[in-house]
A and B are shown apart, each in its own frame.
Chain A
Amino acid sequence: MKTSSSHAPNHRLLVLILAASGGAAVLGWGLNARSASSAARTAPSPVALLAAIPSPSGTPTPTQAEIQKWKAKAQQSPENPTHWLNLGDALMQAARESANHQYYDGAEKAYQQTLALAPQKSDAMTGLAWVSGGRHQFPESIAWAQKALVLNPSDSAAYGLIGDAQIEQGAYKEALVSYQKMLDIRPDLSSYSRGAQVLYLLGDTRKAMWLMTKAIKAGGAHSENTAWCNAKLAEMLLGEGAVLPAENLLKDAQKVSPNSYAVLTGLGQLKMAKGLYPEAIALYEKAVTLAPQHAGLVALGDLYSLTKQEAKAEETFALVERLHEEHKKLGSQDELYMARFFAEHSHQLPRALALAEAHREAKNAVAADTVAWCFYKNDKLPDAKAAIDRALGAATPDSPVLFHAGMIYAKLGERETAKRYLYKALSRNPYFRVADAQLAAETLQALGSTAPPIPEGGVALASGKSQ
């Protein structure tokens, strides 16, 4: 990787990513949720714990102020479990806002400390479910949420986290049930937005958008929550090519939350769809500087590539890999993001294949789609077909899935099926990923540029039976 010193955003990013790993590595926080009970027994003293929880730098946001407040309170009266619980929640909110996985460790410690002081405090169990979910440790997340529900059957957040994990595991129908319970207990932004997400994944885009609009209207405790819902709604609109309404929504959201990375990346995506690459780059640069997050970094790298800034693209892609190495050290299991990144960029394909093999049975539509694309890029067509058929079966109205299906069927020689999938990908959303949308249109052109081959059955019939 070339030096990034001349490129301010990338330099800043590198610092952020390294800071994340530094804090954890120095203190040797290698624990995860699975060992929570033993962790509680061997936890460091409250003073050491608080010293280890990073104090955010830069302009303090309301969430950072919350962290400081609860840190101070915990220091004052470390025997009060509520202080630790609130500290955990504030750290998790910071994780949401910054996409920075380093907060997970601190949050986990705070929740564990809560349980050490008050073993029946179910909210801390829900907190640990939240941490595990953030790290993509889904069975652990479900286990913690279920423990919380035993103590508090009306814990709506626990049902939400179980639903989240079920979605990731591809159990959409079960997630619907979990979210329904959450909605019944507490109809609010959290439950509406989750309901919207699962409906979208099940192909019910219209109702999903309606429910997400309700989530936005309901509002949340943190402006980030509403900004996130706005960005998700815009993503759904863009997902079906509705550029104008998405633009209206994001511009309004930006006025309220100018520093939300979700809104910024949404706007970047919109500018990319309109072919306004320099404007998109500026937005993504700001977004990833605020929150070094996978999708934003990948899109930024793609934009650098599209604008022939190869060196910057290379640096940004190197940062993507670096980010995931750090995530791995922090206990996050989001390796399928990397698999998709490798496959989409035809980079490190043997690693992509290994990851696909490891997740061969993935049921979640996006995961199965990723696995399919990794197999395709490694010329494992029967495996690719099996995975993409599973992804299609989930009915997620996703142009990338349709595009991948088209390319896989084209390579399998099933020309008409391939054309239909490619056409559908472009019809649903012509802006899904610039390079891929272009390839879809080109492949459709190539497949439709020659007369159809003469079917053998027909010819045989003609020569054999005609009189």
Chain B
Amino acid sequence: MLATSRRQQPLAVLLASSLALGAGFLVPQQAQASSHSDAPLSKLDPQTNLTDVYAFIRTRPGGERVLVCEVSVRPFSEPGDGVLYDAFASDARYSIHITNPTTGGEIQRYDFQFSPVSSAAGAYKNLDTILRYGRGTAVGPIQDVGDVRQNFTQTYSVTRVMGSTSTRLNSTPLLVPPYNTGLATPFYNDMNGRAVSGAVNRMALDKYTFQTTYDLPAVGMGTGGGNTVFCGSREDGFYADTPGIFDLLNSRILGSTLGQAGGGVDGFKGFNVLHYAIVIPLSDLPSLPYTAAFSEGAANGVGVYASVSRPRITLLSTSGDPTPSGPFVQVNRLGNPLFNEVLVAMRDKDRYNRSAPTGDASFSTYALNPEVAVLINAVYGTSFATTGRADLQAVYIPDVIRVDTTTGAARVSGTAGFNRLGFIGGDTLTKSNGNSIPGGWPNGRRFGDDVVDIALTAVASGPTYATVTVVGDNIAANDQVYNQTFPYAATPHSGLRNSKDSGPNVGF
């Protein structure tokens, strides 16, 4: 049995529940649903279900400016899953695309591919145990990633693709650290058994993350250093009251005239995701002109989005293990937060996932005429602009996260000057032409950017922004502290001790 199958629901049931609610923008949801689950088909394929893309400018300790790209996939990974735990699909290709910021056209791409998970093909040291972690050829807590006590170790490779040229960036397989099971993975956790996070430099990372953060040698490209990569389990850095948001009539998010009844509930509290991430020196990237949202004058930079592809044909071998074959077909993609989840209507969600950003003009209507504004107005009697939303179009079409690469390093969560509301909170950066640009999303996206509050506030305040009406979900922080160093995503929650949602986001 696949470890994830118990969370799946038949498509028909999902569609039925959506019809019952009678609101087109609601994604089919289970009780514990996610804005992450952005389309009916991908919801049924969690290992390829992309949840969040982060992209922001940072500076390496030596002063080199870099673009950090991190992607979360596999929402609601249960820290205490037991038995098999989540792993990357070996028959899928996980990609980070660098694009022209205006057209969305791909310029270069970084592909991550993983080793098999199945007992027949996977790297297991011992098939006569029920444990993935804590017993390989020896029993006990894992001291180093891939040691004798780590029964299963997934590995991966990274390839840079530019047009028809593919360049493998690693010479030996790179290791995925163990899942944070608890006592078997002691270096993730503190004395109380809770995950340790919030490292401000590489040396302060937990041992497993440290050992699997790889500085790869420079291969071709610009004059800078090489890429740094990490793949593995992480705490889900997205925080939002999605249970409330997607229950349209729930006054927890939007009571009469935007009031709320009670505090928000972080629907992602206590859950992990899988994560793939790369640091790209800016000397490896083009800097192309574009028009940035909420910024005067020209901007220069790139677009970023993520996708997952599977081979067109999956043949089942006689042993029952999947065997990938044929060219890759995109099954999921993700750029800006909340686009496919909240703006794109049901009919087009799967089409969005199959298409490339260059064709996103066909989705323009969803940004220009946001149904979410129509719904809020209808239910709560507000008068938010429902048409002519060029402001939203500028952010979302094409759906790549635009990052100005002429600025200094973005402030990261937990440091002075960082504001989760980005430009609404006065957190801006300066472009090379001297004008300011948002310090976080929609100029890039950082860990801790409160994209729900920023997006809802934009929906309520645009297109003129004469009055800025703050709308949000009453969740103002993640449940775990992000790292201030790569990988910026926080240490995964422990399977043994973690706290789930429920109640105001204050206690732990």
Contact A203 B474 (CB under 8 A): yes
What A residues does B482 contact at CB under 8 A? 423
List A residues 429-467 near B (Cβ within 8 Å): 430, 437-438, 441, 444-445, 447-459, 461-462, 465-467
Contact B140 A242 (CB under 8 A): no
Contact stretch, chosen from A153-161, A221-229, A243-251, A370-378: A243-251
Contact A438 B416 (CB under 8 A): yes
Q: Using a Cβ–Cβ cut-off of 8 Å, how many residues does chain A contribute to the interface with B?
A: 59
| A262 → chain B closest CB, angstroms | 20
Residue among B139, B149, B506 having the largest count of chain A Cβ atoms under 10 Å: B506
| B244 → chain A closest CB, angstroms | 11
Residue among A241, A392, A419 having the largest count of chain B Cβ atoms under 10 Å: A241
| A458 → chain B closest CB, angstroms | 2
Contact A445 B140 (CB under 8 A): no
Contact A206 B186 (CB under 8 A): no
| B339 → chain A closest CB, angstroms | 23
Contact B206 A451 (CB under 8 A): yes
With A244-B426, A274-B426, A458-B141 in contact, is A452–B261 under 8 Å at CB? no
User: Bound complex: CA of A237 vs CA of B468, how far in Å?
Assistant: 11
User: Bound complex: CA of A198 vs CA of B48, how far in Å?
Assistant: 45
What B residues does A467 contact at CB under 8 A? 138-140
User: Chain A: which residue is nearest B419 at the CB level?
Assistant: A241
Flag whether A426 is at the interface (Cβ < 8 A): yes
Contact A447 B140 (CB under 8 A): no
List B residues 184-228 near A (Cβ within 8 Å): 186-187, 189-201, 203-207, 210
User: Chain B: which residue is nearest A401 at the CB level?
Assistant: B506
Flag whether A428 is at the interface (Cβ < 8 A): yes
User: Chain B: which residue is nearest A445 at the CB level?
Assistant: B200
What B residues does A420 contact at CB under 8 A? 479-481, 508
What B residues does A416 contact at CB under 8 A? 190, 192, 194-197
User: Chain A: which residue is nearest B415 at the CB level?
Assistant: A441
Contact A207 B484 (CB under 8 A): no
Contact A243 B190 (CB under 8 A): no
With A245-B469, A448-B199, A466-B149 in contact, is A206–B260 under 8 Å at CB? yes
Contact B424 A245 (CB under 8 A): yes
Q: Choose one: A428, A448, A461; the contact of B186 (CB below 8 Å).
A: A461
Contact B481 A392 (CB under 8 A): no
User: Bound complex: CA of A415 vs CA of B183, how far in Å?
Assistant: 19
User: Bound complex: CA of A437 vs CA of B415, how far in Å?
Assistant: 9
Contact B205 A462 (CB under 8 A): no
A258-287 CB mask vs B (1 if < 8 Å, else 0) is 000000000000000110000000000000
Flag whether B420 is at the interface (Cβ < 8 A): yes
With A204-B260, A248-B468, A454-B186 in contact, is A461–B416 under 8 Å at CB? no
What A residues does B198 contact at CB under 8 A? 419, 423, 444, 447-448
Contact B420 A241 (CB under 8 A): yes
Contact B476 A428 (CB under 8 A): yes
Contact B474 A462 (CB under 8 A): no
List B residues 258-291 near A (Cβ within 8 Å): 258-263
Q: Choose one: A205, A248, A450, A461; the contact of B474 (CB below 8 Å).
A: A205
With A243-B425, A457-B191, A461-B140 in contact, is A423–B413 under 8 Å at CB? yes
New A-B pairs, 10, CB < 8 Å, besides A206-B260, A206-B474: A203-B474, A240-B476, A244-B425, A415-B196, A416-B194, A424-B506, A430-B416, A451-B207, A453-B191, A457-B183
Could you pull out 13 A-B pairs where Cβ atoms are within 8 angstroms?
Answer: A207-B255, A240-B470, A240-B476, A242-B421, A424-B477, A427-B477, A430-B419, A448-B484, A449-B204, A452-B190, A457-B191, A458-B183, A459-B186
- Of all A-B residue pairs in the complex, the 9 with the closest CB atoms, nearest first, are A458-B186, A466-B140, A207-B259, A206-B260, A210-B259, A427-B477, A243-B426, A452-B196, A448-B198
